[in-house]
Amino acid sequence: MINTLFLPELREMLAENNVAELREFCTALHPARTAEFMEGLSPQETWAVLRHADLALKEEIFLYFGHDRQIAIIEGEDRSEVAELLADLPADDRVDLLHDVAPDVVEEILPLLPLHERREIIRLRAYEEDTAGSMMTTECAMLSESLSVRDALAELTRVAEHLETIHYIYVVDKDVHLRGVVSSRRLVTALCKPDQKLADVMDTDLVFVNAMDHRDEVTSRVAKYDLSAIPVVDDQRRLIGIITHDDVIDAVRQEATEDAQRIAGVAPLDEGYLQTGLVELWWKRGVWLTILFVTAMFTASALRAYEVKLSQWSWLVMFIPLIMSSGGNSGNQSATLIITALAAGNVRLRDWKLILWRELRVGLMLGGVLAVLGLGISFILTMGEKGTSDQTLWPLVIPITVLLVVTCGAVTGSLLPLLFKRLGLDPSLMSNPFVAAISDILAIVIYMTVSVLLLRPTS
Amino acid sequence: MINTLFLPELREMLAENNVAELREFCTALHPARTAEFMEGLSPQETWAVLRHADLALKEEIFLYFGHDRQIAIIEGEDRSEVAELLADLPADDRVDLLHDVAPDVVEEILPLLPLHERREIIRLRAYEEDTAGSMMTTECAMLSESLSVRDALAELTRVAEHLETIHYIYVVDKDVHLRGVVSSRRLVTALCKPDQKLADVMDTDLVFVNAMDHRDEVTSRVAKYDLSAIPVVDDQRRLIGIITHDDVIDAVRQEATEDAQRIAGVAPLDEGYLQTGLVELWWKRGVWLTILFVTAMFTASALRAYEVKLSQWSWLVMFIPLIMSSGGNSGNQSATLIITALAAGNVRLRDWKLILWRELRVGLMLGGVLAVLGLGISFILTMGEKGTSDQTLWPLVIPITVLLVVTCGAVTGSLLPLLFKRLGLDPSLMSNPFVAAISDILAIVIYMTVSVLLLRPTS
């Protein structure tokens, strides 16, 4: 819901050009809330309000706007004002933004930026999306190993204002090679002996990523070592930036979203759902949907082979969907459980025998319950049906089939992600519809086999 | 994979009781790596190695062990040694651990802990799982608002060693009411005027959670305000702890796992997959599986109504699985896209018309492709089939059905999560199998209606 609480007043202040009140509005609240209260305004109105905040605050509020609004402001407002704002934004956010701004606008803005910032932008834009380099900010607390603790603090006092975080202070040699790290906690503790060199208090067993590493590498390393920021180095182990906790949390969420989309057989979207074009959406869904459609043809061929049997006992047809969906749902559950367990590190490839044995038993337990229900259902639904066989064994067909199909679904669903992983593929890759496709064929074959065995023609 | 690099040497050192080398092993690496190298050892051997580290390091390495190993050590090793370790662990980790330790062992250990720690444990255990209170640590940087910046730094120097982080310093009044927050960056910057009071440099527009708030509230607020830690207060707004970035990242991952499980129709597991008992697994999957089985009965009843038609054109039967799975997969994709978009905040309830219109068009585009494929398939598979109607319209049945079913699947799949959300339910709740169940029935009804319209008996 858009927060409309302040909208009329804001518009009134704008109409009256009430500088004092507009300034008061910008400074009174947490920047995130200020941004929230402006959601109902147009990008032009938003910028007109923001003009009354000083640069640092303007920047903070701007960063809390939605992506579309940020782009609209950059593309639509006065180029020199926008350039002033951009020059001050954290380097990583700036690059992300400019990536989506119309190229001709970027060309107009770039020359208005200070030389240093301009070079920075061109350098960071060179990193591919989803690499550590594209996630990092270049502004980090970086101090020389020869400084004393006292001088380090003095230096920090001077530069801290321009940094995103000083949670970790990175210690470098004269060629900016990363040598060690000092947490702000450690630095403050070390103040009791202010003449120690940074080299003496720093931690040298470093955890870092290369700028070319994939985003997944960043999130798994940060989570494993419980870091709040991770340094990024180039191939010569020179410190070139850091990735901070907020970008890591965003990345973890992004990964979860992409996994969920892959599980459902959608190639991960680059943008939000509403921002993705129809043709892209069609393509990213269509590829897998088509592959699955083709695999479903095998199910059709399998059924075709039993056409004669099915025409003998026509009541068998009505249970086809019931049996297929039971197997599919059971497989779906198992696949998701194994995929999430693999992602969380709870399960490894070598556990496959254990998993097989568990799923076999759980599958039988689940199938058992459904078989009992199936017995009741087939009694009711087959009443008054005709077929060319002795009717005493009829009610057993559905329960036995359901028991076997649910168990096979559970086993298939659990083994498929493990197989994908063994083959070096992403376990979450379209496993859900793929499991469904396999368990569909299995379901049909099992169903027809059980029927043929139990329903011998009386003739 | 277990890292076996050091295992033989470690075992040899243990056999020789080589104190110097064991101590060297404990201190040489990052605690996370030390823990990794010990993965191949038994819990007894692990503890025998750890004995050679001093308490602070022992604690750090211990925290990187897997949960099962931690529990085995607490339950199996000397009670007083374990109590010494536990007394030093961060309060939140300690409570999580003791939650899973056998109750009689906890009863034996508790009296060995210092009174203050014992009270702390009993207090934290009172918070329900998945509340902010159960995630927080009580050790946070908390200073009085009347301190000067200089004195604040001196005080921090004294206590920082015992804290998990000093990224934020929380400013409280004499009754420990939370009044403001100072980032370590801000404090360091303020050192240029060391006589300012904390009250003058602190930020008073605070973002915090109540101890009783749900975990989701914590993660969404931390992500929204880009925090690296969030303070936890009681009902009187007294500061009682903080939740740090590492616990937030864990919680975000946990949420993603639970969402994925709910999407697949599994009630979220409390433990890892392999740690969950068979009966619990059976129950958590069985409930939804049974409900879905019962809803699938409607599909069976729907099919029953068309039994006579199906016996007239028996080739229709073999396409039932193909058509059902196309609708199910399409619905599955849409549901997942909308659920992930809702979770990421890209889509809101009021966008429902926009979503409906998009899905209608994408559904037709996807259905169009599959319809063309379906035309080819039905030509091939119906060759030589017999039926009681003019054969010219036969090849059109499958394409038209597929087009309609895929479109209906996309629309149903996208609207169902929105409906769940509107009803105040979790949008991810079993949406996947539920969408499949609805689209199954729709598929059958559409298929039979199209067949009846196109295949008029010749008699």
Q: Where are the domains of chain B?
A: 7-128, 142-262, 278-454
Could you say which of 3.10.580.10, 3.30.420.10, 2.60.120.10, 3.30.70.1400 is the CATH number of the domain covering B142-262? Answer: 3.10.580.10
Contact B191 A300 (CB under 8 A): no
Region for residue B345 given its phi and psi (left: phi exceeds 0; alpha: psi -120 to 50; beta: otherwise): left
Closest Cα in chain B, distance from residue A210 (Å): 19
Helix %, strand %, coil % of chain A (to 5)? 65, 10, 25
d(CA B25, CA B13): 10
> Count of alpha carbons within 13 Å of B147, Cβ hemisphere only?
21
Q: What is the CATH number of domain B7-128?
A: 1.25.60.10
- pLDDT of the residue at B430: 66
d(CA B277, CA A365): 13
Q: Name the CATH code of domain B278-454 (choices 3.30.1490.20, 1.10.357.20, 3.40.50.2000, 3.30.565.10).
A: 1.10.357.20
Q: Check CB contact under 8 Å for A188 and B157.
A: yes
Spatial separation of the C-alpha atoms in residues A416 and A413, rounded to whole Å: 6
Q: Measuring CA to CA, how many Å separate B213 from each of B131, B135, B193?
A: 5, 11, 38
Residue B187 CA to residue B150 CA, distance in Å, equals 9
The residues pairing with B142 across neighbouring beta strands, listed in sequence order, are B170
**Structure-token match 């819901």, residue found:** A1
- Quote the pLDDT of residue A430: 66
Half-sphere exposure of B389 (CA within 13 A, CB side): 21
Burial class (CB in 10 A: 0-12, 13-18, 19+), B195: exposed
Contact B370 A290 (CB under 8 A): yes
The CATH class of A7-130 is mainly alpha
Contacts of A153 in chain B (CB under 8 A): 188, 191
What is the distance between the alpha carbons of residues B198 and B151, in angstroms, rounded to a whole number?
9
In this prediction, residue B179 carries a pLDDT of 92
Question: Scanning the structure block, which residue is given the tokens 């970027």?
Answer: A106
Check if the beta carbon of residue A217 is closer than 8 Å to that of residue A187.
Answer: no
**CA-to-CA separations, B202 to A29, A60, A379, in angstroms, rounded:** 14, 17, 74
Contact yes or no for A207/A227 (Cβ under 8 A): yes
Answer whether A296 sits within 8 Å of B322, measured CB to CB.
yes
Judged by a CB distance cut-off of 8 A, whether residue A444 touches chain B is yes
Q: What is the mean pLDDT of residues A310-319?
A: 82
Is B297–A322 a contact, with Cβ atoms under 8 angstroms apart? yes
Facing residues of A389 across strands? A457
pLDDT of A164 above 80: no
A-facing residues of B in 88-117 (CB < 8 A) are none
**Strand order through the sheet with A168-172:** A142-144, A168-172, A178-183
Q: What are phi and psi of A428, to 5 degrees?
A: -80, -5
The two tokens of residue A351 are 């556990």
| Inter-residue contact B217 to B209 (CB < 8 Å) | yes
Neighbours of B176 (CB within 10 A): 17
Average predicted confidence (pLDDT) for chain A: 85
Written as six digits, the tokens of A79 are 């180029």
Which of B28, B260, B361 faces A263 most closely, judged by CB atoms? B260
In angstroms, rounded to a whole number, what is the distance separating the alpha carbons of residues A329 and A366?
11
Instruction: Select from A25, A162, A189 the residue whose CB has the most chain B CBs within 10 Å, as the one to mutate to test that interface.
Output: A189
Contact of B57 with chain A, judged by CB distance below 8 Å, is answered with: no
DSSP type of residue A274: T
Task: Provide the CATH number for the domain formed by A142-263 in this structure.
Answer: 3.10.580.10
CB–CB of A142/A175 below 8 Å?
no
Q: What is the pLDDT of residues A35-51, one digit of tens each?
A: 888 888 888 889 988 88
pLDDT, residue B381, reads 73
pLDDT at A411 over 90: yes
The parts of chain B modelled with pLDDT lower than 50 are 1
Alpha carbons A38 and A40: distance in angstroms, whole number: 5
Runs of H (alpha helix) within A313-430: 320-343, 352-381, 394-422
A289 at B interface, C-beta within 8 A: yes
Residue A241 DSSP SS3 = strand
Q: Which residue has the tokens 């191949």?
A: B40
Q: Most B CBs within 10 Å: which of A33, A57, A143, A185, as the mutation test of the B interface? A: A185
A192-227: pLDDT as tens digits? 888 889 888 898 888 999 999 998 889 888 888 888
Question: If contacts are CB pairs under 8 Å, which of residues 338-377 in chain B contact chain A?
Answer: 338-341, 343-344, 346-348, 351, 354-355, 358, 361-362, 365-366, 369-370, 373-374, 377
**In the predicted model, is pLDDT for residue A458 greater than 70?**
no
Structure tokens at A140: 């980090």
Closest C-alpha to B80, from B53, B51, B52, B122: B51
Provide the pLDDT for residue A368.
Answer: 93
Which helix (H) or strand (E) covers residue A142, if one does? strand A142-144
Q: How far apart are CA A176 and CA B129, in angstroms?
A: 46
pLDDT band at A388 (very low <50, low <70, confident <90, very high): low
Does A293 score more than 70 pLDDT?
Answer: yes
The strand pairing partners of A197, in sequence order, are A148
| pLDDT value for B113 | 86
Q: Say if residue A449's pLDDT is above 60.
A: yes
